[in-house]
Chain A
Amino acid sequence: MGNKTYIASDNLITSLGFSTEENICSIGQGKSGVEVCTIPELQHLMPLCSSSVDKTRLAKEFSEIGDTKEYTTLEQLFILSIAKALASTSVDTTSEHTLFIISTTKGNIDLLVNNPFEPDRIHLWKLAEIITSHFKNPNQAVIVSNACISGALAVMLAKQMLCIGKYDTVIVSGGDLITEFVVSGFVSFKAISPNPCKPFDESRDGLSLGEGCGTIVLTSDASIAKESYGELIEVAGGATSNDANHISGPSRTGEELGIAIKKSIKQAGISPEQIHYISAHGTATSFNDEMEAKAFTLCELQNTPVNSLKGYFGHTLGAAGAIELVVSLQSMKRNTLFLSPGYESCGTTDPLNIITQTQLATIDNVLKTASGFGGCNVAITLSKK
């Protein structure tokens, strides 16, 4: 039933670089973008680590496509990432059959303190309007703001939109910045580690925050997808669920993330043993990683190779799902399992098969999961066709 969803292109702008290639090259060499935080406005919140985008380079590269004075930092990040993702495609952004889905948790929240733009600029819908008008897109963008699952959820929504058939191309872009607003909040929760985060490790003691943007161009046309992406990869399944337990702490059982995982895999028409790799949420907080390990075990995925990419990028919030899905797609294209940074020894009650060495492997089906405040969970299944 309905149209299918294939990947046509992607882009990453993170601490590790301004293209997918640069990012994957760094990851392949085991480089991490997470380091001791040197952002002047955050020094009163030390000790903490962060993963920051090079703002000088952002302004320089953006100035080639727009006036930096007319756009906020986050708008520049989104527009540059989308422009780079579109460069290798023939997508017509002016078409009424092209839709933008924008994912962010806090958008231009930095304007709360100092806003040189019009007052509405702080609104998420305004951020999306700025982006779509840059690309002269005639449609109202879909804006998702669903805590830390936003980016992966946006890809699931793209699948639904393409299936309905009104659009033939959907551009998903997820972005968020490191701000004092967000960092102070996580500090107040005592959720931040003084050291680079160590997902799933015995000594993990909290997350590291990051910033960046991930863009994925999706199409219902398999031949266009294959030609521009080199490999035909389908977003074959996607589901969300809610813990119905606590607004700021994950489920104690992992059953609810399990619901989303089972639905997503079933929708893809495969069984758990056909999943070759899991890109986990793995924030490196004690509760999150424990919950995820339980959920994977409940779904009979405890032996499947799994990593958390938070050790490379930090937790990029509304961008995380999009950024980590791009890396998952690249893992599939390159048949490579990337090591999970910061992991040394098992730190969850249910042991997982954490990837400790970057290695070649056949990867036909991937599961991507994320969980967030408000008890939300998402699971996406990607399949080679």
Chain B
Amino acid sequence: MLWKDFNQGIIKENPVLRLMIGLCPTLAVSSNAVNALGMSVAVAFVLICSNWVIAAIRKITPDQIRIPIFIIIISTFVTISDYVMQAYTPELYQALGVFVPLIVVNCIILGRAEAFAYKNPVLNSILDGAGMSLGFALALISLGVVREILGAGTVFGLALFNPAVAATIMVLPPGAFIAIGVLMAALNKFENKVQ
């Protein structure tokens, strides 16, 4: 039962590729693998913590004002990760830019709060948050790796081949749309085969 809560966010209900939420940061910061990893960690922190707190206080939260309370909790954790990143990883913070404060409107987080954490015990909610974060990270990092290899000839900053033959378009905005479109089509084909 607990395992299921963790598991379903990874592929079956993958937030990005299946539920089509959390797209903005996925496309915007996936131009290289390091940024993708940093964003995944920030989202995982916010999602797990907010799921945990919301599940813990779900019994004392009045139904009518639950959304503003969720928003306050989420924005608190977002601001914490914002300042911690600024203090300890300033270069990453610069690269991610406005997308760090924008985690607050990332539909994954409010969505999980409303659909899962508000109705389930603490441990299940933490696992749900972890699974969803992993699914998000999986989509984000695979996009980041693919785009960085094709577009710049490097992976995590390590040179693979001469950047002169790389397809620069893959690290530009259109490349993000192409990469995720093809990734989704591939997932469709793969799943069809399994069935």
Q: Do chains A and B interact in one complex?
A: no
A→B interface (CB under 8 Å)? none
B→A interface (CB under 8 Å)? none
